[in-house]
A and B are shown apart, each in its own frame.
Chain A
Amino acid sequence: MSERWLVAMSGGVDSSVAAALVARAGHEVVGVTMDLGDGSARGTSARGPISSDLVPRSAKKCCGLPDAEDAREVARTLGIRHYTANYRDEFRAAVIEPFAAEYAAGRTPIPCIACNRVLKFDLLLRRAEALGARGVATGHYARIASAPDGGLGLFRPRDREKDQTYFLFDLPRATLARIAFPLGELEKAEVRALARELGLVTAEKPESQGICFVPDGDVRAALARLRPDSSPAVEPGPISAPDGSELGTHSGAVGYTPGQRRGLGLSGGPWYVREVRPAENRLVVDRAPALEARSVRLRDASWLDGAPPGGEVRAAVRHRHKSVSARVEPAADGTAELRFAQPVWAPAPGQAAVLYDAADERVLGGGWITGAGT
């Protein structure tokens, strides 16, 4: 039966093909590109880079978002409706502000998870409902299929290289019935081939890398731009060893992450960042063995089955982390202790620990890392 589906179209090749596949299945597709504000503008389109300085303010506000232009062009090619929806305020409140606050607190945030949960799978889901659509389809590489208990579960995609389940671990299970991931059974190369076959303008568009509102991965520049009023620790400060001895000077503690080796400029290395202390603007470094963690503490743990998994699970502590065997020890207050069967390198507070079943296929849930135990 033909249904109406809202497809979140970022202007990239993946969501373009997702829209095409939903349409090909006989459904009515409404493409929606979220306007998340200047903070998210990548400044490139399929037709080449655009210097944002050359685009008048009014043009950017109105119809000049380059990625939205690409999405619109794809929608024209596919013969589907397309709208641009303004979620600037919501994006700032739910994603950018917490991101800046996490860094200011010395943690290493992963904003894509909140963007998925709040923007794509809450606000856009509501928009889908407002538009009389069955649900939201996106270009994420993940699968939704039956779980052992007969309900729906979230699974790793066929293309493990592109696996994005890490960013989706905290979706409420009830929303899965209204979400579709049309790329879950495809390899990236097949997606590109489909885009070419369909003549989509985004077919050869380069992969988006990193965080959309942090151009070139320059966290400090992004923080200065996003929060010009509050000055995070971007002044030079001390780098010390665990025994308190000062080893050198860094150019601002915020933006460093545990396990980081580059950018320290210390002799007698290798040294690795072990801890960021923003209040003192201090980096604590250590030798590699000290960064191996046997466990992590989690806050705000959420479980897709409604309860923490017993027995052996697989755990990933960062995106693309090869999962390790682990066990969960939940506490009543929503925190949990995750114990690894083998040491894990430098889990960073602020990142998520995502748990999979023993077969390493189905997402069980996860939580936010607050600290590591050795």
Chain B
Amino acid sequence: MNDVYLDYNATAPLRPEALRAMNDVLAHTHGNPSSTHAFGAAARAALARARKQVADALGVTADSIVFTSGATEANNTVLRQVARTLAGRDVHLVSCATEHPSVLEELRALGAEGCRVTILPVERDGRLDVSRFEAALGPSTRLASVMWANNETGVIQPIAELARAAAARGVPFHSDGVQALGKLPLALAALPVDYASFSAHKLGGPKGVGALYVRPGVELVPLLRGGSQEKGRRPGTENVPGIVGFGAACEAAGAEFEHAHARHDRLRERLWDGIRAALPDALRNGAREHTLAHTLNVSFPGASGEALVEALDLEGVAVATGAACHAGSTEPSHVLSAMGLARELGASAIRFSLGSGVDDAALARVLEVLPRVVTRVRQARAA
């Protein structure tokens, strides 16, 4: 029997469209986009086409896209520029307790360098209270950064309201949109969002490619130095095949968006109904109406999430305790702790994240295996 992959929030399999586009570039378009000659022009053309595809997915103009090595670099670039441009002055940053480590750890570093950092708590549903957010913004707040949708729980933040609140006070607003791309209608140009970070591999593009959206007219100080690529905003020869794969993945995701969204929501609810029926004390983390349609985070009281992930893996079901980067040596999830879950409950949670390869048969298999495994893990713990 084939293994069931339910870890799309860690990474998604490469879409065939992306693979084809990348194969084509790797085989036929070796030029450097900065070169004058025809080979360079061909690479430039491939880059331009991909940039348009990514921009369309975000609902923005192509010139607002800066390609990076991934969302971690994009997040670091935006946060780091605050320190670079405003050294020596009172710099205040506002963010949220459930952010990805590529935001939280950079904020910690900036705090150590003298910036004032406010990490706002979230409500029990994982969402940031807009009035609490507004109250945190002050005259020296140089940036607010709130993720669009959470990687561990799928909880969606009220980005439009938060961005408007920041704009009303003249505070630049950044969002880590990694999990939202391809999963939510973004229409970024219509929102007062100044920066947003994205990653290709979460929606079926290749790993090692990301994008930073920079609102037209907004400044971006590059993290790296040494070239005029990406209009000087991200030096270094572009990862042309990766970027082309990113573009193709965006286009493919966009084409199936409505269908996929409905499908994932139906499958996800089926999974949850099945879990609840078999294990009535299971707890869902994050409410359906405020979470990404393909993400389900569940606590199984009395079981260790770490042991559950391993036990399910041995049965051919791939899930995660939370962010994949923590896997293999888990600390209790900071996201679930921020939502007020007791340490025990947080450590008993696993994340199911669905995608195109998951169907009813796969879920039936999961629902056959899961209750048995949860019971076994609980018994072993109590022994």
Q: Chain A interface (Cβ within 8 Å of chain B)?
A: 4, 30, 35, 58, 61-63, 65, 68, 81, 83-86, 126-132
Contact = CB atoms under 8 A, between A and B. Distances in A.
A62 B311 contact: no
Contacts of B330: 86
Interface in B286-316: 304, 306-307, 310-311, 313-314
A129 B325 contact: no
Nearest to A63: B328
B140 interface: no
A45 to B, nearest CB: 16
Contacts of A63: 328-329
Contacts of B306: 85-86
Contacts of A131: 307, 310-311, 314
Nearest to B374: A130
Contacts of A84: 328-329
B30 interface: no
A61 B314 CA distance: 24
B368 interface: no
Contacts of A35: 329
Contacts of A85: 306, 310
Interface residues of B, number: 21
Contacts of B326: 61-62
Contacts of A4: 314
B383 A81 contact: no
A62 to B, nearest CB: 6
**Considering residues A65, A68, A130, which has the most beta carbons from chain B within 10 angstroms of its beta carbon?**
A130
Contacts, number: 55
Contact of B381 (A30, A58, A68, A126): A126
8 tightest Cβ-Cβ pairs between the two chains A and B? A129-B380, A130-B380, A130-B377, A130-B307, A84-B328, A126-B380, A35-B329, A84-B329
Interface string B365-378: 00000000000110
B112 to A, nearest CB: 12
Nearest to A32: B310
28 contacts: A30-B310, A30-B314, A58-B101, A61-B331, A62-B328, A63-B329, A65-B329, A81-B313, A83-B310, A83-B328, A84-B328, A84-B329, A85-B310, A86-B330, A126-B381, A127-B307, A127-B310, A127-B380, A128-B380, A129-B376, A129-B379, A130-B310, A130-B311, A130-B376, A130-B381, A131-B307, A131-B311, A132-B314
A130 B314 CA distance: 11
B313 A130 contact: no
Nearest to A85: B306
A86 B331 contact: yes
A61 B304 CA distance: 19
Contacts of B328: 62-63, 83-84
B90 interface: no
B105 interface: yes
Given A86-B329, A132-B314, 7 more contacts: A4-B314, A62-B325, A81-B314, A85-B306, A86-B331, A130-B311, A132-B376
Contacts of A65: 329
Contacts of B381: 126, 130
A86 B304 CA distance: 11
A62 B381 CA distance: 24
B311 A61 contact: no
Contacts of B304: 130
B310 to A, nearest CB: 5
A83 B381 CA distance: 18
Nearest to A58: B105
Contacts of A130: 304, 307, 310-311, 376-377, 380-381
A130 B381 CA distance: 7
Nearest to A65: B329
B199 to A, nearest CB: 18
Contact of B329 (A30, A61, A127): A61
A129 B331 CA distance: 22
Contacts of B311: 130-132
A320 to B, nearest CB: 34
A347 B330 CA distance: 41
A63 B326 CA distance: 9
B313 A62 contact: no
Contacts of A132: 311, 314, 376
Nearest to A72: B328
A131 B329 CA distance: 17
Contacts of A127: 307, 310, 380
Contacts of B325: 62
A58 B101 CA distance: 9
A116 B351 CA distance: 33
A30 B315 CA distance: 12
A62 B327 CA distance: 7
A196 B61 CA distance: 59
